[in-house]
Structure 1
């Protein structure tokens, strides 16, 4: 019998990076917003799991 090694409920593996909301490094950061360079601001914003819950942030990949 084959057992799945993939986790359910997430489309991306856990990643480690800088959370733009609480301004520290954290596990499980996801891309929230990507601002094009030509619009003046430019840059990306990532949020960790607790900040996504607290601020009700939807990762870019999960937006319609």
Structure 2
């Protein structure tokens, strides 16, 4: 059973997401990386605008 206090899986409201780089909520978080796994589900990593700019991350769709 999934823990409801896990910030990655907790729904924080419309338009809000989670930034895996600064480990906090963000209204500008977009998908920047997908980690594929052979067994089980993969993992998606999101980053907010300031973290993307600071770390030169590009959105996954680009």
Structure exhibiting the larger radius of gyration computed from Cα positions: 1
Segments of structure 1 that go 5 or more residues without pairing to the other structure are: 1-14
Q: Flag as ranges the 4+ runs of structure 1 deviating above 4 A.
A: none
Q: Which has the higher helix share?
A: 1
Q: CA RMSD in A?
A: 2.0
TM-score, normalised via structure 1 length: 0.65
TM-score, normalised via structure 2 length: 0.67
* Structure 2 Cα separation of the partners of residues 27 and 39 of structure 1: 32
How many residues end up aligned between the 2 structures?
48
Segments of structure 2 that go 5 or more residues without pairing to the other structure are: 1-14
